[in-house]
Structure 1
Amino acid sequence: MKSESVLQKQFISLGFRVDGRTFSVENSAGERLKIRPKTCQLLLVLMENHQQILSKERLLSLVWPNVVVDEQVVFQSIKEIRQLFHPHDVIKTLPTQGYQWVAPVKSKANLNNISVKLTTAVVTACLLLGSITYLVLNDPQTRSELKSHAQAKLEGSVVILPTQNLIAGNGHDWVRLGFMDQLIQRLPSEPSFGVLQTDYVLEVINRAGLSLSSTSTKSPDVTGDVAAKGMFSDSEIQQIFTVSGAQLVVASRLMGTPHDYQLSYNLYWPQKTMQGAIFGTDTHVLLDEFSARIKRLVGSDVVLDSQGYHTDFYDEMMGRALELKLQGEYESAISLLQALVLQAPHNMTAHRVLIELLLSQAQFGQAENLLEKSIPIATSLGNHHELIRLRYLHALLAAMRQSFTLAVSRADEVIELAQQHRDWLYLAYSTDLKGHIAMKNTQFDTAHALYHEAKSYHQILRCPVGEATSWLNLAKLAKQRNAMERYNESLDNARYIAQTRALTSILNEINESEK
């Protein structure tokens, strides 16, 4: 038996799936487990020869051919395999004889042929779909009707979810958040809708009670329906609609092998769903085509300069830091981000999230030092997306230090920049900050106008959290002015949104305000 033959097979034992082509192991839940390549190769040999006794010498010759290694490597690999399959007893040791795989094994041979047939079928289907799509979208009357329909219907926010990565190895770890963030950058906000930015989407996922870490672990059967539903179930998608106010949710996953990619996607509207697939040899080409398709559907004519795309989310360390932040593990997140800022000084997102955390922990001195370094870098890079956020934090810092005149001046700078780039979220945040300062200075009429203006920006995104918070701010203002009728009306509006949108934190705040 040649060891090369096992590299074309897939084995299933006790619910575990071991793939010889990708040196990967998945458990019954579809989670990909960590295993060293040589250990996986030894596992494949044992499973290929299950019920046979293989000596150490035989294993060394099959897994480490033409290499002089100590037999300890066999002992170590056997130990790792047993730990992987614990508590199942899968390997029997026979003193002086060798090792034997004793668990039941099913194998799938000729996977290449299966994959070829499957890929051919998918390609044929997608080519047909692509031809139909091309004919439809390039008919002038149909294209005009589609654009008119999209512009009439799409009002609110667009949520791009993390991309599920099904490419073997760690060379594509960046895909989960990096692919998502690049797509978001290619879809600019318009007067009637806004595209939620990456870290805000992660907050939406967290608010919906879903796990960010689980989005990278699910994997379909290679012989299953590769065009099946994406990484989120229908009920999970519905929960995202509920808590975000989204009018379009985009889910995608990347499959295939390097330079032979397939991007499958689902587009969800409140009342309909669309599926599709794109094939290509380069991920950036896939992104450009995918964004072009979405832009046609939402009626956007804006063309972005691809040279301006930043890659702050390509580092998986960034994703881990955001997970820690969402989990409330602020000290760990700060340590990770401090390391990332040193390692990647032009990663403006890492700078900004670190500053947010420092402010939340009242570490004002450190936050100010980092802001003074970060704002010039973001300016020189032309990264207006992060520059808006950094300048907002600069204004917030001044407000937290009771320097209200300076805070208002800085907030006005943010508003001017955010208006240029239709950043509805930070227009709302900055206007809201000015409202808080006006209320603090007992400028109640000014505060009332600013809170309503902030609410109007949140309404462009149909953001339930923003709208409910705006109503709650108006209620607090009315209470301070002893306008109890207006107070009750505003509080009822906030409560209605929070209840219908399952916003627990807002409901808790409403309850506190009534005490």
Structure 2
Amino acid sequence: MTVKYIGDNFVIDELAHCIYIAEHKHTVRPKTFDLLVYLLSKPNQIVDKAQLLAQVWDDVTVEEQVIFQSITELRKIFAGQTVIQTHPRKGYAWVAPFVLEKIQVEKPSPQFKASKYLGKKWLMASAVLVFISILMIFSYFHRDDNISKSNVKQPTQTIFILPTKNKLMDANFGWVSMGIMDSLITQAGDHSNIMPLDYVLLSMRNAQMTRDYDAGQIQRLFKITNASVVVESEISRILGEYQLLYQIHFLTHQQRGVIQHTSIEGLISRLADILANSTNVQLAGQSTQSKTIYSEMFVEAVLLSQQGKLADAIQLMQTLIKLEPTNIAAYKMLIDWLQYLGKYAQALVFSQQVIEVLEQSNLPKSELYYRHAYNLFKLGDIAAATEYSKQLNQLLAVENNPYYLGFAKQLEGELLLEQEQPNAALQAFKLSLQQFERVSFSIGMTSIHCLMAKAYQQLNQAEQQDKHLQAARKVVREYEIHNLLGLFRIELDMLEN
């Protein structure tokens, strides 16, 4: 026997762990479905948060925020219907009427269901096929005149893979936008070309790019980042297949096309191959780290941070780490947010925790070792920070990560400057500047010039000090990064003319 909850416009199938809304099937995360069933078992009764945590998340310790996430997920599915009532400071109650149906366990007959709507399905299929044909013909005859060059590998310096525009219209695929981007970034072995996820999001913020970015915003991204290649994509679904429209923007031309596959993983794999054939990127295969971003909670936390709700974002990311203690991407983002707020002691707890996780894996470690060393530095533990700085340099001798090679040398210089060794600090800063100039990291270049000005101030060399302050101002003007200086705690008064 199995149970179905049948309402005016919905059917909740307990055996299949899915929800049908007007013939449309929705799947939800297991814990979310468990919460739904528990509320259904107590219709019109207020269930407090403590009870939900005890009944649904009895096998793990989480914060109350995880309940909010599940309730939000359910409300998106039941959009337009009042099914769950919130009682502030009390809890939640299922309020929509339903009947309980107990039936024999049977697998639904796809053929019967298909026959019921066969005429409609064929009409839809025909219309979509005609649309796709027109789209492909249009794309062929309206390609850029230089598109024939796309088969020739282009010399690249910096490649930006933007978040995918999500047209799936399904709450279960909220992760897709950044998930596809992160998967492509982590599959690319040549990190000297591919921009990391956090830098892409930062650069989009500086370029004032919206989630549905347009051609003008992409051109602005080219201007202020010195990018050589920008990859945009849009995902939708037609007749059971996923469809990905992609456009690879080069400095002189564009390459675009359509990919169709029965799985999102298949789309990612094909686009990765196209990117590899069109640029100098070398694929390293599917990364296990890329799977960590496939989490609606991760995406929700990032969106909260972009809306200025950093405290909520931090709380949600901490909950995610409790649920997925090996989620490296979540650790990185959380530590960065805590550092931005100046909460280095709290950030240190998480950087120490994630380093212990990394020691049990083969994943790259330099990015987290840098964060840990920086936490120690800001907390005044110069000896420990110096030791981790040395380990960081050893890691970077093996790992191909020019961004963090720049960060590592910057930290090395800051540690030396703290110990009043300005000449040695300047040598480290010069190496850092070379790395940041190589990848056109404008914030890094600005920061290093300011630090070099401080070093020359210790040496009482006013002329050199002013030279580097002028260089910092030039970078700020050239890359239009005024609104990011405070974010990176660059001393604004140093750059005032």
| TM-score, with structure 2 as normaliser | 0.70
Indicate the residue corresponding to 1:235 in structure 2. Answer: 216
Shift of residue 449, structure 1, vs aligned partner:
1.1
In structure 1, C-alpha distance between the alignment counterparts of 2:173 and 2:303, rounded to whole Å: 19
Assess if the C-alpha contact under 8 Å between 2:147 and 2:254 holds in 1.
Answer: no
The equivalent position to 1:381 in structure 2, one of 354, 361, 368, is 361
Alignment pair present for 1:36 and 2:78: yes
Assess if the C-alpha contact under 8 Å between 1:312 and 1:347 holds in 2.
Answer: yes
Q: Residues 472-511 of structure 1 correspond to what in structure 2 (within 5 A)?
A: 472-505=450-483, 509=490, 511=492
In structure 2, C-alpha distance between the alignment counterparts of 1:171 and 1:373, rounded to whole Å: 30
In structure 1, C-alpha distance between the alignment counterparts of 2:186 and 2:441, rounded to whole Å: 20
Secondary structure class of the residue paired with 2:185: helix
Assess if the C-alpha contact under 8 Å between 1:246 and 1:461 holds in 2.
Answer: no
Cα distance change of structure 1 residues 233 and 493 upon mapping to structure 2, 3 Å threshold? same
Secondary structure class of the residue paired with 2:359: helix
Indicate the residue corresponding to 1:251 in structure 2. Answer: 232
Indicate the residue corresponding to 2:372 in structure 1. Answer: 394
Q: Residues 50-449 of structure 1 correspond to what in structure 2 (within 5 A)?
A: 112-122=125-135, 146-147=152-153, 150-151=154-155, 154-155=156-157, 157-189=158-190, 193-211=192-210, 215=211, 231-257=212-238, 259-300=240-281, 302-306=282-286, 308-384=288-364, 387-449=365-427
Secondary structure class of the residue paired with 1:250: strand
In structure 1, C-alpha distance between the alignment counterparts of 2:221 and 2:76, rounded to whole Å: 31
Cα distance change of structure 1 residues 408 and 390 upon mapping to structure 2, 3 Å threshold? same
In structure 2, C-alpha distance between the alignment counterparts of 1:258 and 1:436, rounded to whole Å: 57
In structure 2, C-alpha distance between the alignment counterparts of 1:184 and 1:197, rounded to whole Å: 7
Q: Larger deviation: 260-269 or 473-482? A: 473-482
Over the matched positions of the two proteins, sequence identity in percent amounts to 20
C-alpha RMSD of matched pairs (Å): 3.5
Assess if the C-alpha contact under 8 Å between 2:276 and 2:283 holds in 1.
Answer: no
In structure 1, C-alpha distance between the alignment counterparts of 2:464 and 2:228, rounded to whole Å: 31
Q: Larger deviation: 243-252 or 306-315? A: 306-315
In structure 1, C-alpha distance between the alignment counterparts of 2:147 and 2:239, rounded to whole Å: 27
Matched AA of 2:190: S
In structure 2, C-alpha distance between the alignment counterparts of 1:453 and 1:440, rounded to whole Å: 18
Shift of residue 280, structure 1, vs aligned partner:
1.6
Secondary structure class of the residue paired with 1:196: coil
Cα distance change of structure 1 residues 347 and 121 upon mapping to structure 2, 3 Å threshold? same
Secondary structure class of the residue paired with 1:414: helix
Shift of residue 367, structure 1, vs aligned partner:
3.2
| Per-residue deviation, residues 165-214 of structure 1 (Å, max 9, x unmatched) | 11232232221111110011122225xx4311112211111122234xxx
In structure 1, C-alpha distance between the alignment counterparts of 2:258 and 2:248, rounded to whole Å: 11
Secondary structure class of the residue paired with 2:255: strand
Cα distance change of structure 1 residues 274 and 134 upon mapping to structure 2, 3 Å threshold? closer
Indicate the residue corresponding to 1:54 in structure 2. Answer: none
Matched AA of 2:472: A
| Per-residue deviation, residues 402-458 of structure 1 (Å, max 9, x unmatched) | 222321221222233234222111111111011111111121111111111111111
Cα distance change of structure 1 residues 368 and 307 upon mapping to structure 2, 3 Å threshold? closer
Cα distance change of structure 1 residues 345 and 408 upon mapping to structure 2, 3 Å threshold? same
| Structure 1: runs of 5 or more not aligned | 1-19, 25-32, 41-63, 70-108, 138-142, 216-230
In structure 1, C-alpha distance between the alignment counterparts of 2:209 and 2:459, rounded to whole Å: 40
Assess if the C-alpha contact under 8 Å between 1:258 and 1:281 holds in 2.
Answer: no
Q: Which has more radius of gyration?
A: 1
In structure 2, C-alpha distance between the alignment counterparts of 1:507 and 1:391, rounded to whole Å: 24
Shift of residue 475, structure 1, vs aligned partner:
2.1
Assess if the C-alpha contact under 8 Å between 1:177 and 1:313 holds in 2.
Answer: yes
Cα distance change of structure 1 residues 429 and 261 upon mapping to structure 2, 3 Å threshold? same
